[in-house]
Amino acid sequence: MSKSKKTLHKRIKICGLTRPEDIAAVNEYRPDYIGFVFAPSKRNVSEMRAAGLKKLLSPDITAVGVFVNSPIDDIVRLVSRGIIGAVQLHGDMEGFETVQYAEDLKKALAAARPAASVPLIRAVRVKDGDDIRRAVSYPAEYLLFDTFVKDQYGGSGVRFDWSLIPHIEKPWFLAGGLSASTIKEALNTEACCLDLSSAVETDGRKDPKKIQEIIQTVRSV
């Protein structure tokens, strides 16, 4: 794939929104996705808070729910209530979030929302190329490559070696260490979407100016 094709049509996800001010910023600058974190995290939101924030969110922006080893019923309830429109799984593929778990989740989502497509995004904490190769066959519409940090399921802000990612047919998101200084390099990968959280924060809170700058950089290509 040529460099020019790699850099075109990148989507953007701003993850870890927790406040009405965060929603106001994304409504203004229009990423493609935002993320509500329902897993243990400093960016965690309750179902009640996420429901309130979703009411403020532009309908043109897809809300993604981020989960770690969550019961299927909890995820289905959030989808059924219209709080999220996509599901991002960050848990243990060989323990809780197995292939069977994903298949059961997809069936439950299809039964709950038969008229709506609810894509699964399988997060992969990358230590080496084998982690990526094992994840390709997981029954999810997208993969998301993030940095492996011991005892942490995501949101570390640490970058991994992007050259470990081979060409794969399944579309994938890139996360982990994306920032204003690395975003142009990220645009030259085959990622379909760039996923940012700590890079658009100041003192642990989402910063509208940083959100604006990152989105303008990506969209200017």
15 annotated active-site? yes
Query: Among the options 15, 22, 193, 195, which is catalytic?
Result: 15
Residue 24 corresponds to which tokens in the numbers above?
A: 């106001």
73 annotated active-site? no
Query: Among the options 22, 92, 146, 195, which is catalytic?
Result: 146
Residue 140 corresponds to which tokens in the numbers above?
A: 């999810």
What gap in Å lies between CA 131 and CA 76, rounded to an integer? 28
Give the CA diameter of the chain. Answer: 45
Nearest C-alpha neighbor of 16 from the set 101, 90, 108: 90
DSSP string, 125-160: EESSHHHHHHHTTSS-SEEEEEE-BTTB-S------
Q: Give the end-to-end CA distance of the chain in Å, rounded to a whole number.
A: 16
Residues noted as catalytic: 15, 146
